A and B are shown apart, each in its own frame.
Chain A
């Protein structure tokens, strides 16, 4: 190699480690072959492989994993491992590996499914370290992806293993949890809960008729949807059940539990049910409203209530036209999947609600939009045609909604743009302002008393206070 590129190679090695082994050097030369100037090529490789942020040691825990992360390091114990031969398909690049290794990796913060294009130097139960790992989304949940360029090494038990990493036995136990704590970090869970809703549905799976049971579970902390592929004898609305080793699935960003063949489900009654922190009567009540700070902090929430002021009505609210095929909003007469279509009229509102502790965009469907707007779709359309401004409905919506307090009930989910909320119902808050005001006056009085008392006890503190 000539002298011009030697310094660049040196810098790459400094930033990224062994560039020969990881194939980064080959990639660098490929860019040069395309007549990319060496320093630009270096920059782009540094960006791609994360050299610019070497100063930040990016060792992540399972709970930190989000979609589409790049070039991080992770340690974990292998809980499951299997390999899958891939049939070579036409157009496959020569030399591409034909075996995919999949499994589950866990640390003390959770477990994550992974897939690897390289054979792993270890077996179930052993600890590995992966450098240059990536994530992607598969079946609505984050998946760890070990690529050809990732460096995988086995961490010997004892000296090399982080002390915090639990044993295989502990990690593969299906933890007993409260419903609120079930998240995408769990692959399987156990819990006790009351059945709030239940229905049977006949579906055809792989050409065979099957009955699936679906419904809603609740304990004192949260509600969660569930499905069961097995019959649940003796279980009905109002039953309290205990389930062991149920699978956790993600649907639209909200966790749900799935009872599979291996799940044990039993009905709890008599004195044992009396010992639980909840009963069917207590969980049947409307959920307690959450602050928006709490909604924002969670990845996905099922059937919760929160309220706030409308601080902004977002563009795209009002009368829209939807693709008859897929329901996407039609823009300029075309659907981005189905081209030119005859759109179907619909109304929706996207509003940002804010309670001073957090801020959450909330979607309202046609029915709820008509309710809070006070105009039907037809009335809105009439307004749209009577006014030369194409934003007449949007402006009208802003005038009616901006500032108002809305209490919404529905599901929250985390997308790549943060948490968003889909309303199932909406109402004006019903709390009594006079009661709240009196309570605040009491709190202010008792704070004053404390201040006076502390000054009496400690004159020094008083002086500082008054200075």
Chain B
């Protein structure tokens, strides 16, 4: 019983990272139809930011000051990446060029990390103390990461329904041609969506840094699990990403507990294939109408 509780708590904590990556996926996907393979390494960069700016034993004030800076830094970086990714789409007939450019961006970030810090894994300490929940000790980072996921879910919901810019991005998601015809500057808003996605993933990397592997080769595992979270919940649905993230986190934590840590990703892959075979639209997605 205690084991299951620990698995659930840790799983949801870990899953909140996947949920955040999933949400940051959705932001770009809804505005452009692009899935950014570099999202995992962007998360790692958020964590690296925390490693670089925070002292060994950070206090809460420092943490509060640097959190928004991490978000903004990654937003700027992702806006640049978005601009590069969208560049060839202007003229090229190859619609899938983004599959390659975003994968290349991911490889480049990983390679730069390798050159910068070598094949090591950095760790960051949290300014908050652990607390106890239902008799188990819970690292504060888990709670902070879950809260951040909820925060971004609510904030993006408000953004997309209350603000004009958000509405315009929602319009692109509905029908890009119609949005363009209505005078919406699609390209500019799409780059904006990359930036917003950077805010999400940058803050996520900063907050979750104490429980992350900040290394050159860990980005792909995060992007993969984030994608599984988004697909399980239904690609494009942020509520789906929240639920999917928790599900992926708990299931892979159970696998780690039962069979060993090496099996976490294998189990996520199994979950992904299972969902795609049985319900490709995910839990909260709608089946797409066929166009012939």
Does B bind A?
no
The chain A residues found within 8 Å of chain B, CB to CB, are: none
